[in-house]
């Protein structure tokens, strides 16, 4: 494969159709919404502070007694406490629903990027509305495709948490310093190994997910058919897929280093603009690399010969 031609063609395609950036911006919403940057500080007593408890339990019969906490003001405070609790629950529910909505929009936008780039690369014309409409029609399939990678990751994470909890519980019952140190070292080594395995697994699953998306949008496959077709294309072009994956990682790493200082300066000098600029940069990355993988899919599956894209041996179409 002519990787240089593929990368330059993706750049020219995105540059000449800047509306793709709007889809990239929507596709970046999920990662952008998670960059809160907030922190919580807990004041923990230190030193030789001791606590003494005297008298009968506050709730001797296990029942909640507002007067024991608020005294004579309980009758006045309790309605406001109940209202505040209801408001907090409502805020949490709304936040969850908004998060799900943002994730859905992001998922459909990824499909729109694929549809738009595929049409343009094939010599056709497209627009934001047309690309979004194409993805919207397959929205449920795209959501199903996006949910599948989360299942094994959740299972693996649950296993790691279970093992870590067991190790910590065992460590708390030990009194010998050497035994505690051995358990801590083993727990740390297990955590590092588990993290590395999860990172490798997540990268492989994410790459498979990208191919499944393109099978859905370009070949109109169902959820499970998309993963099966994506696997066929990956295995039929494994060497080229791995090489392109490493090239993309190298470019992302290099751009991250190049942009580190400018982003740091912006963050220090123009703190109020740091977050929007960071989102815009991420959206640009998303748009460009989505185009790269869509053009690669076209090359892998034999769709690229008529449009001047790099042509390689293609995986057989169904």
44: in domain: no
52: in domain: no
189: in domain: yes
56: in domain: no
Among the listed residues 206, 179, 252, the one whose alpha carbon sits nearest the alpha carbon of residue 110: 206
Q: How many domains does the chain have?
A: 1
Domain of residue 143 covers: 3-14+72-307
292: in domain: yes
45: in domain: no
14 pLDDT band, cuts 50/70/90, is: very high
Whether the full predicted model's pTM is greater than 0.85, yes or no, is: no
What are the tens digits of pLDDT across the range 251-278? 988 888 887 776 677 666 666 666 777 7
The string of DSSP letters for 222-249 reads -HHHHHHHHHHHHHHTHHHHHHHHHHHH
What are the tens digits of pLDDT across the range 85-125? 778 888 998 998 998 899 999 999 999 999 999 999 988 89
Separation between Cα atoms, residue 311 and residue 299, nearest integer Å = 5
């Amino acid at each position: 494969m002519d990787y240089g031609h593929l990368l330059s063609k993706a750049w020219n395609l995105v540059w000449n159709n800047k509306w793709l950036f709007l889809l990239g911006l929507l596709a970046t919403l999920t990662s952008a919404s998670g960059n809160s940057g907030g922190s919580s500080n807990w004041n923990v007593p230190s030193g030789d502070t001791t606590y003494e408890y005297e008298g009968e339990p506050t709730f001797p019969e296990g029942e909640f007694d507002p007067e024991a906490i608020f005294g004579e003001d309980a009758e006045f405070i309790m309605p406001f406490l109940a209202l505040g609790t209801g408001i907090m629950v409502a805020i949490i529910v709304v936040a969850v629903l908004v998060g799900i909505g943002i994730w859905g929009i992001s998922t459909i936008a990824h499909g729109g990027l694929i549809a738009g780039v595929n049409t343009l690369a094939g010599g056709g014309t497209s627009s934001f509305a047309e690309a979004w409409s194409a993805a919207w029609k397959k929205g449920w399939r795209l959501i199903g495709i996006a949910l599948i990678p989360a299942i094994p990751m959740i299972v693996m994470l649950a296993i790691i948490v279970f093992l870590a909890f067991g190790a910590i519980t065992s460590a708390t019952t030990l009194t010998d310093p050497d035994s505690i140190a051995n358990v801590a070292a083993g727990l740390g080594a297990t955590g590092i190994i588990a993290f590395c395995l999860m990172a490798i697994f997540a990268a492989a699953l994410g790459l498979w997910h990208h191919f499944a998306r393109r099978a859905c949008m370009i070949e109109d496959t169902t959820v499970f058919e998309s993963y099966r077709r994506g696997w066929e294309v990956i295995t039929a072009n494994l060497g080229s897929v791995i090489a392109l994956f490493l090239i993309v990682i190298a470019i992302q790493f290099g751009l991250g280093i190049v942009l580190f200082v400018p982003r740091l300066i912006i963050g220090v000098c123009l703190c109020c603009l740091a977050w929007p600029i960071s989102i815009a940069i991420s959206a640009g990355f998303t748009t460009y690399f989505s185009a790269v993988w869509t053009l690669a899919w076209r090359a892998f599956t034999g769709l690229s010969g008529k449009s001047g894209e790099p042509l390689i041996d293609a995986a057989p179409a169904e």
